[in-house]
Amino acid sequence: MGSTSAQNPETNGSARVGRRDLIKRSAALGLISVPTMSFLSACASGGGSDNGDKAKEGKKTAKNPLGVNDTAQMEFVLFDGGFGKEYAEDAVKIYEKNFPEVKVKFSATQKIQSTLQPRFNQGNPPDLIDNSGAEQMDMGVLVGKDQLADLTPLLDAPSYDDPNKKVRDTLRPGIVEMGQFDGEKVWIMYYAYTVYGVWYSQKALDSLDEQYPETWDQMLAVCEKAKKKGMAGWTYAGKYPYYLPFSLYPMIGKVGGVEVLDAIDNLEPNAWKHPAVKACFDAYYELYKKGYVLKGTPGLDHIQSQTAWAQGKALFIPNGSWVENESANVIPKDFGLAVSAPTGIDSSDKLPFGTIWASGGEPFIVPAKARNTAGGMEQLRIMLSEASSKNFTSKVKSLTAYNGGTDGITLTPGLQSGVAALEKAGQNVVNPRLQDWYVQLQKEKIGVSGLGEMMAGRLTPAEAIKKIQAFADEAAKDTSIKHYKHQ
Amino acid sequence: MQHGKYRFIVGFLAVPLGLYGLFVVWPFIQSIYYSFTDWTGLSPEFKMVGFDNYERMLDDDIFWKSLQHSLLFALLLPLVTLSFALFLAFMINVGGRRRKGGPAISGVRGSSFYKIVYFFPQVLSIAIVALLFAFAYNPDSGAINSILRGVGLDSIQPLWLGDPNLALWAVMAVIVWSTVGFFVVLFSAGMASIPADLYEAALLDGAGRATTFFRVTLPLLWDTVQSGWVYMGILALGAESFAVVHIMTTGPGGPDYSTTVMVLYVYQKAFRDGQAAYATTIGVALLIVTLAFAAVVMRLGRRERLEF
């Protein structure tokens, strides 16, 4: 065998090479491991923030109330998600028609953050952004670092359709408030209007000879009946249990009153220890205990759970009104898609049955450092006209922030039931803010580590509440995140 | 002709080293610099905050969890993957039964076919592999639970990625599955360069498969194994674990942070929470872990070199 002896490494050629190799290889390792972190600084801040080349203000007229420069370029970046990009392209065409000398630079992408983060860092962001999707930029940070323009001029401008009405008067209730963080300034214009709640198939419910249950006893009875027919009562996006709040939070609001939800949003001490929270957690936990949740649900993602639900494996699913568009290809034609406000506990609840969570979706922002902020706002004003709003609703099966705009167009079953649910709710529309104020707290901590664990049977409601309260307290103390309060 | 040798070498090295310094080392120094600021990643403005980010990191439970998972990845994945790959490569190249008239040393029957099959996952993008397994792990209609049901094991229907006790192992299994083929090919190449006489001599002495493996193959393959170990460890700490965890246990990294790894946490802090400076801090920690890992492997793996 040709084994070399290593008795005397100093004189042994190959051993010396081995040692030198070691150094060489360690250096090579440096070459490998250095890039593993250098990607971060690839988006490090580049040039300074010169505001010198802002577009000159145009002349304010009745037709051009925001004083848009009719020769300045306008750039619009849209999130290309569930709603597609056609509705925005249509609105861009109107902008170009109104300002014939302008060519709008329009682009649609799913990668909002990776596309735009470097541009914010360099101080030359586009004029209008639909900051949505999985790569949404953190609004709290953008506001905290003064990166957004105040949209008050837009809201106080005359509406596109009626010069005697301000834009703010044409919006659905709650939209303007949602765009505020603290104080009067409005940073975000939510364009879509989402109805959250319990989604189900009217056909499946009919086959059980049941109505949508209004009290929890009825809910359990319906689930029992479904179970006997081999159907689970509930399913949900098990890998993303932060879908559960879509029906759980309004239920808490219904049972304990809106103050409970506000206290939770304000991160008040012991907010989660309110008896209403416990009652609702107990109610949901009972679904698990009694075996009414579709088997395997904690391992399903949102698409998988929606598919199982559309196939009739489960009766109810907590979701938002985008589900109609998102699951269009798996929902059968005769499904009878419907949404209901969440079931309450019983008649002693603070708010009536019908209390629902509805709020703005698809957040549009105008960066403060954009060249043509007036142009960005004008584009939004066009989108908030009745015609553009109708165009959106009929194309993507979702309501818009524009109040109305559903007359004369055929509504899809889900949309129709959403409009009916909103009418039934009347004033009892709640809007918990955790999911836009404290993303990580809401999604990871409360959602996955709290509710998800509870609904998988790994925590009792009492343990879940204790854990969630600890998360909330931690967030309240965390100085690295900005804190907000209901006004 | 030693005269001007160094000038000659420097002349050739200056440009690549300059490029390397500019595009690799400089951003790296910048990253460390940013870890001492409060940079959000969403605005060009930031100020120095000293060691705040590092203090915060030491107090951060999720960071410690991710570190723990990353270390587990770096230790366990190379061990499992490389052992498995060594076994397979040995069977393919050396482990075959001696056939009449054939060569003295050969692999098991159909070994050339296996070689292709094992390598196949390497051809697929890791993103596709992760997606495929995410479907397979679906507890309701996924392949794995369906097979369990099919063979009558109805009572065993694990939640896989939905179970905090299983999710990490499920993710690791996918990484092993997708990388083992590469090492089979690597080790096969290494084994091919071992002279057949050595094996024949061992055979004549009456060595069995196990003895042949531990006394002949492994010692002669040691350098390759060691490089493979480092390579696999870096994969497990970096790109591979990120892709698999990010795609399969999307969102926060598994139920109750059960699969969060350091790279994923860096990504989430930088690109979801708008805390780029804190992300670079975790990046620095990751760098230290990676270098430490490599140093330890190099040191422990040092062996006398064999010549043949």
Q: Of A2, A3, A33, which is closest to B234 when you measure between CB atoms?
A: A33
How many structural domains is chain A composed of? 2
Give the Cα separation of B241 and B244 in Å (integer). Answer: 5
Of A22-31, A108-117, A343-352, B275-284, minimum mean pLDDT range: A22-31
8 A C-beta contact, residue B156 and residue A291: no
Q: Are A267 and A375 in the same domain?
A: no
Both structure tokens of A405: 């705009």
Amino acid at A349: D
Distance (Å, rounded) from C-alpha A456 to C-alpha A468?
A: 16
- Percent of chain A scoring above 90 in pLDDT: 64
A299:B162 CB<8 A:
yes
For residue A36, is pLDDT > 60?
no
User: Is A269 part of any domain?
Assistant: yes
Please check whether residues A374 and A408 belong to one and the same domain.
yes
Confidence of residue A24 (pLDDT cuts 50, 70, 90): low
Confirm whether A66 is domain-assigned: yes
A424 min Cα distance to partner chain B (Å):
35
Q: Classify the C-alpha dihedral A56-A59-A60-A61 as positive or negative.
A: negative
Chain B hits for A135, CB-CB cut-off 8 Å, are 271
Kindly state the average pLDDT of the residues A224-250: 94
Check CB contact under 8 Å for B287 and A36. Answer: yes
CB B140 within 8 A of CB B256: no
Tell me which of A425 and A479 has the higher pLDDT.
Answer: A425
CB pairs under 8 A between A and B: 221
Give residue B289's Cα distance to chain centre: 14
Q: Give the gap in angstroms from C-alpha B212 to the nearest C-alpha of chain A.
A: 14
Name the CA radius of gyration of chain A, rounded.
27
B290: chain A residues, CB-CB within 8 Å: 29, 33, 36
Report the pLDDT value the prediction gives residue B308, as an integer from 0 to 100: 60
Q: What is the mean pLDDT of residues A17-41?
A: 53
Q: Tens of pLDDT along A322-337?
A: 899 888 899 999 999 9
> Do A238 and A308 fall within a single domain?
yes
- CATH code, A61: 3.40.190.10
Q: Name all contacts of B124-130 with Cβ < 8 Å and 24+ positions apart.
A: B124/B178, B126/B178, B126/B239, B126/B240, B126/B243, B126/B244, B127/B243, B127/B247, B129/B174, B129/B177, B129/B178, B129/B244, B130/B174, B130/B243, B130/B244, B130/B247, B130/B248
The reply to whether residue B46 touches residue A448, judged by beta carbons under 8 angstroms, is: no
6-65 in B: which are within 8 Å (CB) of A?
20, 24-25, 27-28, 30-31, 34, 39-46, 56
pLDDT tens per residue, range A171-191: 998 899 899 887 889 999 999
Q: What is the pLDDT of residue A18?
A: 52
Residues B136-153 have pLDDT tens digits of 998 878 888 888 888 888
> Mean pLDDT throughout A159-168?
93
Confidence label for A37 from pLDDT (cuts 50, 70 and 90): low
Residues shown for chain A: 487
- Give B92's contacts (C-beta < 8 A, 6+ positions apart): B107, B108, B111, B114, B115, B184, B188
Q: Do B24 and A34 touch (CB under 8 A)?
A: yes
Average confidence (pLDDT) over A115-134: 90
B287:A138 CB<8 A? no
Report residue A96 as tokens: 């170009």
Q: Which of A34-48, A391-405, B98-112 has the highest mean pLDDT?
A: A391-405
Residue A10 has what pLDDT?
40
What is chain B's mean pLDDT, rounded? 86
The overall average pLDDT reported for chain A is: 87
Residue A71 is classified by DSSP as: T
C-alpha distance from B241 to closest chain A C-alpha (Å):
12
Q: Does position A97 have pLDDT exceeding 60, yes or no?
A: yes
Nearest CA in chain A to B270: A40
Nearest to A22 among B20, B291, B298 (CB): B298
pLDDT of A213 over the 50 cut: yes
Alpha-carbon distance A113 to nearest alpha carbon in chain B (angstroms): 7
Do A461 and A406 have their domain in common? no
pLDDT at position B126 is 87
Residue A277 confidence (pLDDT) above 70 = yes
The whole-number average pLDDT for the span A277-289 is 97
**CATH architecture of the domain with range B51-301:** Orthogonal Bundle (1.10)
Statement to judge: residues A343 and A473 lie in one domain: yes
In a domain? residue A421: no
> Which helix or strand (DSSP H or E) is residue B246 part of?
helix B239-248
Please judge whether B304 and A113 are an interchain contact, meaning their C-beta atoms are less than 8 angstroms apart.
no
Please state, for a pLDDT cut of 70, what percent of chain A lies above it. 89
Average pLDDT across each block of 10 residues of chain B; the chain has 308 residues. List them in order: 77 88 88 91 86 92 93 93 92 73 70 82 87 88 87 83 89 92 90 86 84 87 89 88 85 81 91 89 92 86 67
Sequence spans of domains, chain B: 1-35, 51-301
More confident site: B3 or A233: A233
CA distance B170 to A166: 56
Min Cα–Cα distance to chain A from B50, Å: 14
Owning domain of residue A28: 19-194+358-415
| Average pLDDT of the residues in A372-396 | 93
Partner residue facing A2 (CB), from B46, B145, B307: B307
Q: Is residue A305 assigned to a domain?
A: yes
Q: Which chain A positions have a beta carbon within 8 Å of B134's beta carbon?
A: 301
3-state SS class at A126: coil
Residue A277 and residue A346 share a domain:
yes
* CA A74 – CA B185 distance, rounded (Å): 55
Q: Which residue of B has its CA nearest to A39?
A: B27
Main-chain dihedrals φ then ψ at residue B9, nearest 5 degrees? -65, -45
Stated pTM of the model? 0.81
Question: Residue A337's pLDDT is what?
Answer: 95
- A22 to B230: CB separation less than 8 angstroms, yes or no: no
Q: Does A444 lie in the same domain as A380?
A: no
SS3 readout for B6-67: HHHHHHHHHHHHHHHHHHHHHHHHHHHHHCCECCCCCCCCCCECCCHHHHHHHCCHHHHHHH
In degrees, rounded to 5, the angle at the alpha carbon of residue A309 between the alpha carbons of residues A335 and B246 is 135
Tell me which chain B residue has its CA closest to the CA of residue A439.
B273
Flag whether pLDDT at A265 surpasses 60: yes
Instruction: Inspect the interface and report whether the beta carbons of A444 and B27 lie closer than 8 Å.
Output: no
Based on the domain organization, do A201 and A235 belong to the same domain? Answer: yes
A471 shares its domain with A362: no
Q: Is residue A307 part of a domain?
A: yes
Stated as kind and residue range, the H or E segment containing A376 is helix A373-383
**Which of the four pLDDT bands, split at 50, 70 and 90, describes residue A378?**
very high
Identify the closest residue of chain A to B25 by CA–CA distance. Answer: A34
Residue A316 confidence (pLDDT):
97
Whether pLDDT at A360 is above 80: yes
B200 in reach of chain A (CB within 8 A) = no
Question: Which residues does A436 contact at the CB level (< 8 Å), separation at least 6?
Answer: A139, A178, A363
Classify the C-alpha dihedral B241-B244-B249-B250 as positive or negative. Answer: positive
B248 inside 8 A of chain A by CB: no
Could you tell me if A173 and A299 lie in one domain?
A: no
Indicate yes or no: CB of B164 within 8 angstroms of CB of A458: yes
Greater model confidence, A297 or A22: A297
Answer yes or no: is A74 within a domain.
yes
Query: Is the Cβ–Cβ distance between B77 and B227 less than 8 Å?
Result: no
CB contact (8 A) between residue B138 and residue A304: yes
**Same domain, yes or no: A174 and A28:** yes
